[in-house]
Amino acid sequence: MAGGLKIGIFDSGLGGLTVLRELLNVSQGVEYYYLGDTARVPYGIRSKRTVIKYSLQCAQFLNKFEIDLLIVACNTASAHALETIKKNFPHLRVEGVILPAVLEVANLKPSRLGIIGTPSTIGSGIYKKLIGRFLPNSKILQKATPLLVPLVEEGLNETPLAEEVLKHYLSEWKNQIDLLVLGCTHYPLLKKTIKKLFPRWEIVNSARPLANVLKPLLDSDKDKPNRVSLFFTDRSAFLESFLTNIGIKEEIEGLEILNWEE
């Protein structure tokens, strides 16, 4: 695509910033507009109807910036709202985070794998269904892990508390799987702790595969830096430390807390 590429990204909170980080690693001269719906995080415990409603509101906000590409950087929204967003914004290219992760898993061909995500994402069955199409003979386990998003949002991802919660959810899989799918964009920040507890497992998240899929588009202007504008629907006490932890503060041009009205 020619110069001046504008990309909108939304997530239920801070987790989609892991997607933004991966995109920044492989792009130049792109304008990014990120919306974190921190007033209503997490989406993963909401009904499908509510997730669609919130997702359309986020997409409408980002559309005001005349974006060329919209990234649904939330697994729950990707599971429940992606097709509705595409129908409502036919002029936009819309990408979710689930299919790229599924394709990476299919390429690795594990015979035993586990999937973790929010209750809504796991309840949709989308990961298990899609991976099963590519790997019909693989053993596929899945589990909702609702305590993990709050841990990450509060910056507790590398603490003894995080270790105990992960043990609670995952210890029974220790000898049952060889690969773990992180079905939430908050979860990459738990990767270090997961590897510490379960070093033998291969780990796939949805952020890096999506960046790899989009990489051919992202050299928008090699002579210009990326530009990042961040918007949040409520102030998070952990935002500054989160931005520091994922290493994108230097590329942020603006950060605004919105007066969000449903």
Q: CATH code at 53? A: 3.40.50.1860
Q: 128 is in which domain, residue-wise?
A: 99-206
Mean pLDDT score, 72-91: 96
| Cα→Cα distances 29→14, 24, 35, 97, 222, Å | 23, 10, 20, 22, 6
Mean pLDDT score, 2-20: 89
Contacts of residue 244, defined as CB under 8 A and 6 or more positions apart, other chains included, come to none
Q: What pLDDT does residue 261 have?
A: 66
Asked if residue 26 is part of any domain, the answer here is yes
* pLDDT at position 241 over 80: yes
| Tokens at 12, concatenated | 């239920």
Q: Is the domain of 217 the same as that of 91?
A: yes
Mean pLDDT score, 185-200: 95
Where in the sequence numbering do the catalytic residues fall?
A: 74, 184
Q: What pLDDT does residue 237 have?
A: 82
Asked if residue 262 is part of any domain, the answer here is no
Distance CA 70, CA 59 (A): 8
Strands 227-232 and 139-144: unpaired
Mean pLDDT score, 135-144: 97
Phi, psi of 237 (to 5 degrees): -65, -15
Q: Is the domain of 127 the same as that of 200?
A: yes
pLDDT in tens, 146-169: 999 989 888 899 999 999 999 999
Q: What pLDDT does residue 214 have?
A: 93
Specify the number of domains making up the chain: 2
* Residue 29 DSSP SS3: coil
Q: Is the domain of 48 the same as that of 92?
A: yes
Q: Please give the model's pTM, rounded to 2 decimal places.
A: 0.92
